[in-house]
């Protein structure tokens, strides 16, 4: 099925439905999707008929938690591969926003008892790990989009802050994705659903990507660039590496491929941008992908830079995204309203969850 046709088909159906106010009312629309007041949409008519929605991999649910009270003030969601990185982003945002956690509380992994993803909340910012690859990121995106929907979050923005392999860029460069491509260089996400492949357009908000890239500073000791990103299903053969356990092509084949994609404007490869683009687009949520290059693939495949330097580089996408967030939050939003609310209700908020303020946090 052609991706644009599939999506524009839905748009057309929606248009027709909204034109026929009497007959094709709520009941008909329910079959296609549900949309919260704020515009986060679930392209799933079944959810509203369910007694409760269990967000299994987050250890949250509509039957056990007041999601609107817990997450209704969220404005930004940052996602990245590892729990450690997302814990450090949450701590970074506490410092950058001048945010004060309620007395007697500390940063807690809200989803700790899921043993899958880690999630931290700092006022209007959620910081969540998504694991490696499209399947892991896809599960998280489904549950986070539903969380934002149930919480009636208004116009959220989702960021991926990650790592990648650069092509023709000095290692340590930050890339803001202007277009996400699959391993065949197509701007789509293919998913096998009910025995057939459904192709969905992988669309990122170009204006948002530009605004994020504009958050670079001439004083930064690294460059931030806009470019196309290939998302692959594998780190080794999928990205044309010569150092996997299996490799049935030559170095010349690899270099030809890298040169060809460079000519199409591709500047980096990673493993999740396409699913971010496709799923957030279907949900009506703006998203941006910001990754630091760990190596230049034109010069090799192994990541041999010392860990301390890699860790420092990984803070760069965090800096860029935090600048964007700070530019779009008022002082009160950075420091204030959540605090009062959490103090009043903190025990009730988490009573259905096994992750509580009293849990001790594991050292990373």
The verdict on 289 binding ligand R2B (CB under 6 A) reads no
Point out which span in 10-18, 45-53, 62-70, 161-169 binds ligand R2B (CB under 6 A).
161-169
Report if residue 235 touches ligand R2B, rule: CB under 6 A.
yes
- Is the Cβ of residue 173 or residue 239 nearer to ligand URA in the bound state? 239
Residues 167, 268 contacting (CB under 8 angstroms): yes
Residue from 275, 294, 320, 325 touching ligand URA (CB under 6 A): that is: 294
Q: Which of 157, 164, 285, 295 binds ligand R2B (CB under 6 A)?
A: 164
Nearest CA-CA partner of 313 in 209, 212, 166, 174: 174
Q: Which is nearer to ligand R2B, 134 or 349 (CB)?
A: 134
Q: How many angstroms separate the Cα of 76 from the Cα of each of 120, 162, 248? A: 12, 16, 43
| Rounded Cα–Cα distance for residues 171 and 158 (Å) | 25
Task: For residues 99 and 122, give the distance between their C-alpha atoms in angstroms, rounded to a whole number.
Answer: 7
> Shortest distance, CB of residue 132 to ligand R2B, whole angstroms?
4
Of 108, 239, 314, 322, the residue at the interface with ligand URA (CB under 6 A) is 239
Nearer to ligand URA, 34 or 163 (CB): 163
Rounded distance between C-alpha atoms, residue 360 and residue 358, angstroms: 6
271 binds ligand R2B (CB under 6 A): yes
Take residue 225 and report the two structure tokens written for it.
């660039």
- State the binding partner of 226 from ligand URA, ligand R2B, none, CB within 5 to 8 A by kind: none
Residues 144, 273 contacting (CB under 8 angstroms) = no
Q: Which residues contact 336 (CB under 8 A, 6 or more apart)?
A: none
Which listed range, 99-107, 159-167, 188-196, 253-261, lies at the site for ligand URA (CB under 6 A)?
Answer: 159-167
Nearest to 62 by CA among 79, 48, 74: 48
- From the list ligand URA, ligand R2B, none, pick the one residue 222 interacts with, judged by a Cβ distance below 5 to 8 Å according to partner type: none
Nearer residue to ligand R2B within complex by CB, 100 or 191? 191
Query: 81 contacts which partner out of ligand URA, ligand R2B, none, CB within 5 to 8 A by kind?
Result: ligand R2B
92-to-34, 257, 275 alpha-carbon distances in Å: 35, 38, 26
Positions in 75-104 near ligand R2B (CB under 6 A):
81
CB of 163 to ligand URA, least distance (A): 4
Instruction: Give the contacts of 360 (CB within 8 A, at least 6 positions apart).
Output: none
The answer to whether residues 112 and 118 touch, using CB atoms and an 8 Å cutoff, is: yes
Distances in whole angstroms, Cα of residue 105 to Cα of each of 101, 102, 126, 342: 6, 6, 17, 10
Exactly one of 94, 269, 273, 321 binds ligand URA (CB under 6 A); that residue is 269
User: Interaction with ligand R2B in 291-350: which residues (CB under 6 A)?
Assistant: none
> In the bound complex, what is the minimum distance in angstroms from residue 207's beta carbon to ligand R2B?
24
Q: Note whether 165 binds ligand URA by CB under 6 A.
A: yes
Structure tokens given for 358: 């009293």
Q: How many CB atoms lie within 10 A of CB 18?
A: 10
Q: Is residue 157 at the binding interface for ligand URA, with CB under 6 A as the rule? A: no
169 scored as a contact of ligand URA (CB under 6 A): no
* 357 binds ligand URA, rule: CB under 6 A: no
Residues in Cβ contact with 249 at an 8 Å cutoff, skipping those fewer than 6 apart: 240
Q: Is 299 helix (H, G, I), strand (E, B) or coil?
A: coil
Q: Which chain residues interact with ligand R2B by CB under 6 A?
A: 81, 132, 162-164, 235, 270-272
Q: Which chain residues interact with ligand URA by CB under 6 A?
A: 163-165, 235, 239, 269-271, 294
């Amino acid at each position: 099925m052609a991706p644009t046709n599939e999506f524009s088909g839905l748009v057309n159906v929606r248009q027709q439905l909204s034109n026929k106010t009497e007959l094709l009312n709520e009941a008909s629309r329910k079959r296609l999707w549900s949309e919260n007041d704020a515009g986060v949409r679930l392209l799933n008519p079944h959810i509203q008929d369910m007694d409760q929605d269990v967000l299994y991999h987050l250890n949250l649910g509509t039957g056990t938690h007041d999601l609107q009270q817990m997450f209704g003030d969220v404005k930004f969601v940052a996602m990245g591969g590892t729990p450690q990185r997302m814990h450090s982003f949450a701590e970074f945002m506490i410092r950058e926003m001048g945010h004060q956690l309620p007395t007697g509380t500390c940063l807690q992994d809200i989803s700790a008892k899921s043993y899958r993803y880690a999630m931290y909340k700092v006022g209007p910012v959620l910081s969540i790990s998504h694991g490696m690859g499209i399947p892991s990121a896809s599960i998280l995106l489904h549950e986070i989009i539903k969380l934002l929907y149930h919480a009636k979050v208004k116009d959220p923005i989702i960021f991926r802050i990650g790592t990648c392999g650069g092509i023709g860029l000095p290692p340590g460069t930050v890339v803001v994705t202007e277009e996400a491509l699959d391993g065949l260089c197509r701007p789509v996400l293919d998913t096998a659903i009910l025995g057939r492949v459904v192709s969905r357009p992988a669309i990122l908000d170009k204006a948002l990507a530009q605004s994020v890239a504009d958050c670079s500073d001439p004083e930064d000791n690294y460059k931030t660039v806009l470019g196309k990103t290939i998302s692959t299903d594998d780190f080794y053969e999928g990205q044309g590496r010569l150092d996997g356990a299996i490799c049935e092509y030559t170095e010349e084949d690899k270099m030809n491929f890298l040169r060809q994609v460079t000519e199409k404007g591709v500047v980096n490869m990673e493993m999740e941008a396409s699913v971010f683009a496709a799923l957030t687009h279907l949900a009506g949520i703006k998203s941006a992908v910001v990754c630091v290059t760990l190596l230049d693939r034109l010069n090799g495949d192994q990541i041999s830079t010392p860990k301390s330097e890699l860790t420092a580089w990984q803070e760069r996408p965090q800096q860029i995204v935090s600048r964007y967030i700070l530019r779009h939050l008022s002082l009160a939003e950075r420091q204030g309203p959540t605090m009062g609310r959490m103090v009043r209700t903190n025990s009730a908020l988490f009573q259905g969850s096994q992750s509580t303020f009293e849990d001790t946090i594991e050292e990373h």
